[in-house]
Structure 1
Amino acid sequence: MSLYSSNYDVIIIGGSYAGLSAAMVLGRSLRRVLVLDNGKPANRQTPHSHSFLTRDGATPAELSAIARQQALAYPTVQLIEATVTSSAQDSQTFVVTTDSGATYSASRLLLATGLKDQFPAIPGFAECWGISVLHCPYCHGYEVHGQTLGVLANGDDGFEFGRLIHHWSPNLTLFTNGPSTLSAEQTKALTQHQITIVETPISAITHQNGQLSGLVLADQTDYSLDALFARSLLSQASPIAEQLGCLHNDIGLVQIDEWGRTSVPGVFAAGDTHTMMRQVMVAGTNGLRTAVVINKDMIEEEFQNVLQ
């Protein structure tokens, strides 16, 4: 008899787009799948999702609801709303424990836990994140193209981000939030493209229900804006990969091979956990690809055991 409350072929930690995409493929592959999800996706404040073919403009909640319905239509797929607090390997089995104290086991583990945004200490920034403080022009640039925009960044990142956003609107100001660390050549290139550079620190973002109207600087100057592009600091949303000993790269992403395998045999990763490409369609594709590899690995193991 098992020591654990349930045994599965695959446990997927994270039930957003990568996790549910993988669950569907594995369910269709007749695998017993458990998805554990805490219900707090990184894009929960975002009003609309874009660049997802056939679903452009849908809300993240709509996409998640459809994904859950379709993945859970397969009888071997189960979803439990819970936060996974720990995981360990017991011989050939991975055991996960949730915040309720429940434990589950499987021979394969897929980490689709994503990344956590850490925001600068600027009043209004967190409230506007995903609504009018935007991280990706491919997700949100079209909706604000031609409007009065700002970019919050400095140095090499400020130069690259500034010229990227300039493609969507010539009405652009780069806010370095302190002394500029741009090179002389970068400064010249930006100013020649009529990108204003403001070094005065930002005191606050003025907004109404997340829709910003401008920035207040430390010298009390008000800058009217329609949207601000900025990047957050990122960290893993879950400690599970680190607990299991999965290697990470120098910016904290889980290292995988081209098929989603981590450095720990039997542990896979999909979605934002291992990539800076934080788009819904990319996450879904990652989940599908990794699920196919997981199923293939299990088939090879089954035949290998027989041949031996």
Structure 2
Amino acid sequence: MTDNKNFDVIIIGGSYSGLSAAMALGRALRKVLIIDSGLPCNRQTPHSHNFITQDGEKPKAIAEKAKAQVLKYDTLKFLEDIADSGKKTSNGFEITTKKGEAFTAKKLIFATGVKDIMPDIKGFSECWGISIIHCPYCHGYEVKGEKTGILANGDFAFHYAQLIRNWTKDLTIFTNGKSTLTLEQTDKINKYKISIIAKEIEYLKHINGNIQQIVFKDNTTFDLEAIYSRPHFEQHCKIPETLGCELTEQGLLKVDMFQKTSVTNIFACGDNASPMRSVAIAVATGNTVGAVVNNGMTEEEF
């Protein structure tokens, strides 16, 4: 790590969106510090899909290749640490890390993603990202036609039923308790021969994260090969909120089309600011924010 503590931009989060922003800024000769914990939210996912030129590649391999390319730009520095706190200063911002180092910058980019909150079901977290998936565009092709479950209730369950029926007709909804689907939604789901099982789940039987069975509290079981689910989430990093950044009703960082948050000179990109959680979109929003931040700096300096 360099002794330099002052940068043009600090990027918090060094995965796809953060590295994409860093590359744009590095090519613009900006002094940038990337702070990353080394624990991306998709670390259990075996393969990444629907990202052109990288379809089927391991997520870690994509990130490692991106990091190697980004760090060829000598104005970019990478620090493996956790951003612990942040405050406004007269010239911008100061970020302090968990290891006690403090760095300043004129602008901040948060590419910190979100933290999924696993439901209280034994086996869920072990299967998450492997056989329990959230996005059919990212992983649906790999489980097309398979015996598939939807672990959701209410509007989420209905939306998933509409969407996933295109990938498989062998589809069952598990509400893990009383269904909150409306009568109209239930009738439409039944019309397409999608079963609804409203029993409480005891645990998920799996082998190395590959789902085998749902075991219910009444000791009955259901065999299946894949599950779609959308757990609740929260912001992985609380610093934007402490600095005054607004959140949307969904709990995402509120940004405009240029990835600007509600606080001047603070930007966000990737999963923390988008309901569309994919590598391609993370990279695209990172590229956008890198260009926007540099353009703003050139206007301020000219």
TM-score, normalized by length of structure 2? 0.98
Please list, as runs of the form range in 1=range in 2, the aligned pairs for 1:235-246 lying within 5 A after superposition: 235-246=234-245
Equivalent AA in structure 2 for residue 28 of structure 1 = R
1:69 has 2:83 as partner: no
Question: Which residue of 2 is the match for residue 23 of structure 1?
Answer: 22
Matched, 1:271 2:256: no
* CA–CA separation in structure 1 for the residues paired with 2:179 and 2:101: 51
Q: Deviations over 1:86-127 (max 9, x none)?
A: 000111221000001000011011010110000110000000
Hey, what does 2:286 align to over in structure 1? 287
Asked if the contact 1:5/1:102 (under 8 Å) is kept, the reply is no
C-alpha separation between the residues in 1 aligned to 2:246 and 2:158? Answer: 31
Task: Please name the residue that 1:96 is paired with.
Answer: 95
> Which structure 1 segments of 5+ residues have no match?
304-308
Q: Contact conserved, 1:5 with 1:103, CA < 8 A, in 2?
A: no
Q: Structure 2: how far apart are the matches of 1:160 and 1:262?
A: 29
Alpha-carbon distance between aligned partners in 2 of 1:157 and 1:293, rounded to the nearest angstrom:
34
Q: Deviations over 1:279-304 (max 9, x none)?
A: 0010000000011000000011112x
Contact (CA 8 Å) 1:110, 1:270: kept in 2 or not?
yes
User: In the TM superposition, what are the counterparts of 1:1-308 in structure 2 within 5 Å?
Assistant: 6-303=5-302
**Mapped partners of 1:182, 1:252: distance in 2:** 23
- 3-state SS, counterpart of residue 255 of structure 2: coil
Q: Secondary structure at 2:34's aligned position in 1? A: strand
2: CA distance, partners of 1:92 / 1:232: 39
In structure 2, C-alpha distance between the alignment counterparts of 1:102 and 1:295, rounded to whole Å: 25
Contact 1:173 1:195 in 2 (8 A): yes
Paired with 1:219 and 1:166, the residues of 2 have a C-alpha distance of 28
Q: Find the aligned partners of 1:234 and 1:118 in 2 and give their Cα distance.
A: 5
Aligned to 1:306: none
- Find the residue that maps to 2:156 and give its secondary structure: helix
Could you tell me which amino acid in structure 2 is paired with residue 136 of structure 1?
C
- Give the secondary structure class of the aligned counterpart of 2:93: strand
Question: What amino acid is the match of 1:210?
Answer: G
Report the alpha carbon displacement of residue 191 of structure 1 after superposing the two structures with TM. 1.1
Native 8 Å contact 1:11 1:110 kept in 2: yes
The residue matched to 1:285 in structure 2 has which SS?
Answer: helix
Whole-angstrom distance in 2 between the partners of 1:172 and 1:261: 40
Contact 1:22–1:291 (CA under 8 A) maintained in structure 2: yes
| C-alpha deviation, 1:185, in angstroms | 1.5
In 2: Cα distance, 1:185 partner to 1:6 partner: 59
Shift in Å at residue 273 of structure 1?
Answer: 1.2
- CA shift for structure 1 position 233: 0.5
What amino acid is the match of 2:36? D
Q: Secondary structure at the match of 2:17?
A: helix
Displacement of 1:166 in angstroms is 1.3
| 2:40 counterpart SS class | coil
Aligned length: 300
C-alpha separation in 2, matches of 1:156 and 1:265: 35
Q: For 2:242 and 2:91, how far apart are their aligned partners in 1? A: 17
Structure 2: which 5+ residue stretches go unaligned?
none
- Aligned-pair identity (%): 47
Moved over 2 A (4+): none
**Could you give the per-residue CA deviations for residues 51-80 of structure 1, whole angstroms, max 9, x where no partner exists?**
000000000110010010000010001100
C-alpha separation in 2, matches of 1:163 and 1:203: 27
Q: TM (normalized to structure 1)?
A: 0.96
Alpha-carbon separation, structure 2, partners of 1:160 and 1:108: 38
Give how far 1:160 is off.
1.0
Q: CA-atom RMSD, angstroms?
A: 0.9
The amino acid of 2:9's aligned partner reads V
Q: 1:165 to 1:135 in 2, by over 3 A?
A: same
Cα displacement (A) at 1:5? 5.2
Distance 2:184 2:87 in 1: 51
CA distance in 2, matches of 1:166, 1:105: 50
Amino acid at match of 1:36: I
